[in-house]
Amino acid sequence: MAGFAHACGRWPVTRLDLRGLPAPEPLLQALAAADALEPGQRVEVLTPLLPTPLLDALAARGLRWQAESAADGGVMVAIQRPAADGQALD
């Protein structure tokens, strides 16, 4: 798993490239990263396809997400745990 962090707002953002992993590792690693988020924090995961099971699991956890095509292939999903002040995804 490749990952790096960059600044976004007041929190660093971690990006995980899960595209080369066999199933179900991308789902498991994305959920582990999402579950570890503090309020207002965000993680971005790169997956080979639109990860519908992941999106359903995120919604069930009350997490916000946005998905878009990644420039270098696959889909980038930004996941955020809402802050108490209702902060939205950047």
Query: d(Cα 38, Cα 82) in Å, to the nearest integer?
Result: 9
Residue-level pLDDT, tens digit, the chain, 90 residues: 344 344 445 557 899 999 999 999 999 999 999 999 999 999 999 999 999 999 999 999 999 999 999 999 999 999 999 998 755 555
Name the CATH architecture for the domain at 23-90: 2-Layer Sandwich (3.30)
54 in helix, strand or coil? helix
Query: d(Cα 47, Cα 2) in Å, to the nearest integer?
Result: 12
Indicate the pTM of the whole model.
0.81
User: Is 36 exposed, middle or buried (CB count within 10 Å of its CB: 0-12, 13-18, 19+)?
Assistant: exposed
